[in-house]
Amino acid sequence: MKQYAELYKKELLDQIVPFWEKYSLDKENGGYFTCLDDKGHIYDTDKFIWLQARQIWTFSNLYQEVHKEVAWKEIALLGAGFLEKNGRDTAGNWYFSLNQKGNPLVQPYNIFSDCFAAMAFGALFKIEPKKRYADTAKTTFDNILRRQENPKGKYNKIYPGTRNLQNFALPMILCNASLELEHLLGVEQVEKVTDSIVDLIMNKFYHKESGLVLENISETGEFVDSFEGRLLNPGHAIEAMWFVMNLGIRKNDNALIEKAEKIMFQQLEHGWDKRYGGIFYFMDFKGHPPQQLEHDQKLWWVHLETLVALAKTYAYNQNPKAKIWFEKVHEYAWNHFRDKQNGGEWYGYLNRQGEVFLHLKGGKWKGCFHVPRALLEVWKTLENGF
């Protein structure tokens, strides 16, 4: 597996990072353009907080983990300045999107904006230790914990009481965000937050009888037979499993790592499209038609996060099954998402058959994050071990 380390490193540093350095910087207004076509041309100038924050995180992390490249720190600061100036409402909640100049377009209904902002400023503080970056990360994180019970606030359209569901995404992101912010939160808070979340994920969202991870469960942790309750998102579950593996390594908890490995393989085997290859985006627990019209598409992040989970598994115990699956998913991802013609960032959206159907490198939901993070994680994991 060692030979993949070099390949992933080369792709990251020769293709992916230069693409974003070259095409995404808004030097006039600050922040980044993320709506870039396959030639790198900007086709839309709106700025989505998820993606602004994630790009700050990525360039801070490259500076921290790869080498101290001054240009990378400057790119991180270009986004941070823009977000500090424009990103929050008066209560400190992060908007969902801004226009090119930074005027708010969409209200702070989406708590993942806050999650990625906390991670961005936490990572930036590591490479540029200004107190205000740490403060932004910490107050944002506290705000997330405070909003945790009703993350959408007044924008929540669910009628209370009839069918209250818990959603998988926030606990999952908090596993990752807590670890990312440990230098600011301290060991005790990280343990307090993650212990209960890991229990929730591994014993409630993980539905033991079926071996599948549910996206939504009842307040008491039960399966609910409805569109939301039947929803499966294999990529989400697999990504969460490598977050849990990281927590297991940190706690030296082999049983937890092995349970995460088992659950990861179950989602992968269940989510793999035996007809066309690749991993489905959404599935229905009972095999009924999902409500998501895009359910059978193959998305970049699903496959890249799976490669990270498989690399980590292999690094942990050299399980030959991890190698077989890594090579299978690697083949699929490199042959389908990678842009052989133009190079640069990878494509993101394939139809079920594996054909690119959106000729973009970035958009409203795809920015400078999953591809570079996964390439870096796979490279470092296969080179240095877990």
Could you tell me the CA-to-CA distances from 215 to 242, 244, 283, 294 in Å, in that order?
17, 16, 10, 16
| 250 makes contact with its own copies (CB under 8 A) | no
| 162 makes contact with its own copies (CB under 8 A) | yes
| 6 makes contact with its own copies (CB under 8 A) | no
Number of Cβ within 10 Å of residue 213's Cβ equals: 26
| 20 makes contact with its own copies (CB under 8 A) | no
Which part of the chain contacts its own copies (CB under 8 A), choosing from 6-14, 42-50, 248-256, 316-324? 42-50
| 11 makes contact with its own copies (CB under 8 A) | no
Residue 281 is classified by DSSP as S
| 352 makes contact with its own copies (CB under 8 A) | yes
Nearer to its own copies by Cβ, of 23 and 96: the residue is 96
190 class by beta-carbon count within 10 Å (0-12 exposed, 13-18 middle, 19+ buried): buried
Residues of span 269-328 touching its own copies by CB under 8 A: 286, 288-289, 291, 293-294, 296-297
From candidates 68, 158, 324, 331, binder to its own copies by CB under 8 A: 158
Residues of span 105-124 touching its own copies by CB under 8 A: 105-107, 109
CB of 128 to its own copies, least distance (A): 30
Residue 368 is classified by DSSP as S
CB of 199 to its own copies, least distance (A): 28
From candidates 87, 248, 363, 367, binder to its own copies by CB under 8 A: 363
| 85 makes contact with its own copies (CB under 8 A) | no
Q: Report the alpha-carbon distance of residue 278 to residue 153 in Å, rounded.
A: 36
Nearer to its own copies by Cβ, of 363 and 367: the residue is 363
